[in-house]
């Protein structure tokens, strides 16, 4: 027995040096430590004339599954179940060579155009009014982007007149002539798309973009004073770009004009490194904090009257790295990415970032809605929900109210230097927590969202209420699958939301074990 103690010490030292050591964790919830109100508009999506997003996606008049408007009924049901709050339209790169008048009026008078961004023919059979019918059917708010590439500021103003002015001027009367007596009353308008990107048709430098955006904004707001305007922020993070300089210039020049600045991010896992990939939402968080600092600086000198400060709109974000070769990005089957479980965990991480930054992030749009890097995927006669559908659905259904500033204690890891994604540079992340969490609180109800980034190990976690006690049962929803590469397909959805057995709790703490490679939502009461 005298050798037992040294042997035990050796075993303990080996265990402490292993990657499984210290996996117990704590999450402290204090309902008095608040960040800001969560905007429902962070649960938005995006519809662009690209691939099969519109034609063969939401709009397919020749399908036996289409309704009288040509909308696929199964797609509409999936969109309704997703609780999409804000739908951005019509692009995207598409909008910089799109002229909205081509897409209104009688179908037999609409002129097909060569679509230059994605190398297709645009029939213009789907346009402003068809989109408005669709969003009204599925119960979502429209968000339009104007053409700041080949378009003019006068064209932008006329589109606002067509959509928002009740009667009188020419374009308001034209809408009525087209069968829409009441105005569409579109509140959200973006001043172009990715204008800092050299790939954008009509690409501008920051000075020229700001000049054009300011004058377009002037005319648009004089036409419809209550609209909200979104400036095109950074999208180009390649090594030779300077996204911070672009954002600083846009905020300095348009601080009295716009209501949001739009940021874009796409991430991927081309090197098949799970832990590097799981850290990518933190890049989004870093950029959010940088732009927040720029906004605070400019708000000190802004003259905005009673208007809110400028907020951030992450109006394009998603996983996109498989379908990005030249062939994959052109034609009628462009950008048809198929997602797995690890992609769903990254999406949950993005949503955690938006909630954790609820004071400044007020709009977010997953790109895109159907078929094109999308949560919904169709064939001619059926659809399936991709893995990324389920985190967005859970957040949009449950995560509302006030964002809480959580205290999370858990093991961390460092990544290698790695490539982030499309239009990106490389990064290296340090102290990445294995547990990624956010929480909301409203009327005594707390909702906690947790991604366990551990690929193989569960993390047992003590969940503590620092003000008040837990009471009753916590509902538990989990998104998981057999392994991180599991994909959904037609007739098979192994990655989906599963409601687990409720947890009965009382007092100021309880313990929950988060399974490996999982996203979990816990919902209960604090009193």
Residues with a catalytic annotation lie at 194, 316
Return the HEC string of 414-455. CCCCEECCCCCCEECCCCEECEEEEEEEECCEEEEEEEECCC
Residue corresponding to tokens 């859970």? 394
How far the first Cα of the chain sits from its last, in Å, is 53
User: Which is nearest to 224 in space by CA: 150, 146, 283, 324?
Assistant: 146
In this structure, are strands 361-367 and 260-267 parallel, antiparallel, or unpaired? unpaired
Residue corresponding to tokens 């009740």? 166
Contact 434, 411 (CB under 8 A): yes
3-state helix, strand, coil split of the chain in percent (to 5) is 30, 30, 45
Counting Cα atoms < 13 Å in the Cβ hemisphere of 266 gives 21
d(CA 294, CA 25): 34
The alpha-helical segments, DSSP class H, found in 236-279 are 243-254, 274-278
User: Which is nearest to 122 in space by CA: 91, 153, 143?
Assistant: 91
Counting Cα atoms < 13 Å in the Cβ hemisphere of 424 gives 23
d(CA 262, CA 191): 10
- The CA-atom distances, in angstroms, between 463 and each of 406, 410, 460, 527 are 11, 12, 10, 15
Longest Cα–Cα distance in the chain = 98
Residue corresponding to tokens 């429902």? 40
Residue 59: phi and psi, rounded to 5, are -125, 115
User: Which is nearest to 135 in space by CA: 51, 79, 70?
Assistant: 79
The alpha-helical segments, DSSP class H, found in 68-179 are 73-82, 128-138, 153-164, 170-177
- In three-state secondary structure terms, 168 is coil
Tokens representing 387 are 């893995």
């Amino acid at each position: 027995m005298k050798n037992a103690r040294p042997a035990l010490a050796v075993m303990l030292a080996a265990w402490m040096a292993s990657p499984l050591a210290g996996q117990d964790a704590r999450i402290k919830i204090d309902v008095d430590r608040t960040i800001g109100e969560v905007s429902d508009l962070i649960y938005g999506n995006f519809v662009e004339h690209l691939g099969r997003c519109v034609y063969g996606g939401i709009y397919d008049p020749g399908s036996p599954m289409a309704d009288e408007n040509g909308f696929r009924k199964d797609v509409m049901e999936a969109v309704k179940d997703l609780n999409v709050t804000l739908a951005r339209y019509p692009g995207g790169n598409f909008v910089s060579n799109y002229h909205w008048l081509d897409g209104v009026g009688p179908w037999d008078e609409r002129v097909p155009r060569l679509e230059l961004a994605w190398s297709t023919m645009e029939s213009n059979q789907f346009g402003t009014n068809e989109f408005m019918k669709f969003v009204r059917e599925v119960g979502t708010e429209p968000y339009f982007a104007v053409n700041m590439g080949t378009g003019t500021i006068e064209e932008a103003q006329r589109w606002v007149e067509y959509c928002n002015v009740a009667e009188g001027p020419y374009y308001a009367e034209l809408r009525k002539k087209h069968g829409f007596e009441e105005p569409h009353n579109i509140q959200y308008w973006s001043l172009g798309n990715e204008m800092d990107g050299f790939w954008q048709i009509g690409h501008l430098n920051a000075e020229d973009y700001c000049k054009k955006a300011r004058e377009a904004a002037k005319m648009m707001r004089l036409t419809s004073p209550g609209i909200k305007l979104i400036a095109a922020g950074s999208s180009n993070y390649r090594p030779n770009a300077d996204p911070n300089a672009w954002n600083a210039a846009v905020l300095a020049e348009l601080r009295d004009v716009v209501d949001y600045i739009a940021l874009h991010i796409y991430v991927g896992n081309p090197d098949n490194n799970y832990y590097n990939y799981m850290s990518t939402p933190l890049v989004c968080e870093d950029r959010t904090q940088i732009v927040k600092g720029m906004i605070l600086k400019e708000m000190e000198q802004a003259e905005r009257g009673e208007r809110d400060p400028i907020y951030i709109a992450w109006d394009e974000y998603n996983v996109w790295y498989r379908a990005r070769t030249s062939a994959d990005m052109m034609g009628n089957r462009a950008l048809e990415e198929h997602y797995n479980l690890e992609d769903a965990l990254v999406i949950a991480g993005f949503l955690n970032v938006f909630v954790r930054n609820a004071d400044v992030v007020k709009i977010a749009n997953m790109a895109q809605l159907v078929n094109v890097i999308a949560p919904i995927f169709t064939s001619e006669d059926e659809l399936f929900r991709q893995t990324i559908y389920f985190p967005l659905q859970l957040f949009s259904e449950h995560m509302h109210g006030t964002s809480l500033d959580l205290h999370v204690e858990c093991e961390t890891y460092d990544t290698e230097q790695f490539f982030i994604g499309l239009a990106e540079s490389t990064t290296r992340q340090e102290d990445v927590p294995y547990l990624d969490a956010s929480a909301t609180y409203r009327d005594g109800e707390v909702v906690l969202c947790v991604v366990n980034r551990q690929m193989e190990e569960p993390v047992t976690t003590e969940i503590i209420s620092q003000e008040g006690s837990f009471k009753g049962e916590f509902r538990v929803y989990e998104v998981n699958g057999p392994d991180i590469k599991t994909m959904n397909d037609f007739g098979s959805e192994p990655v989906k939301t599963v409601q687990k057995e409720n947890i009965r709790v009382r007092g100021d703490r309880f313990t929950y074990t988060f399974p490996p490679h999982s996203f979990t939502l816990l919902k209960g009461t604090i009193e």
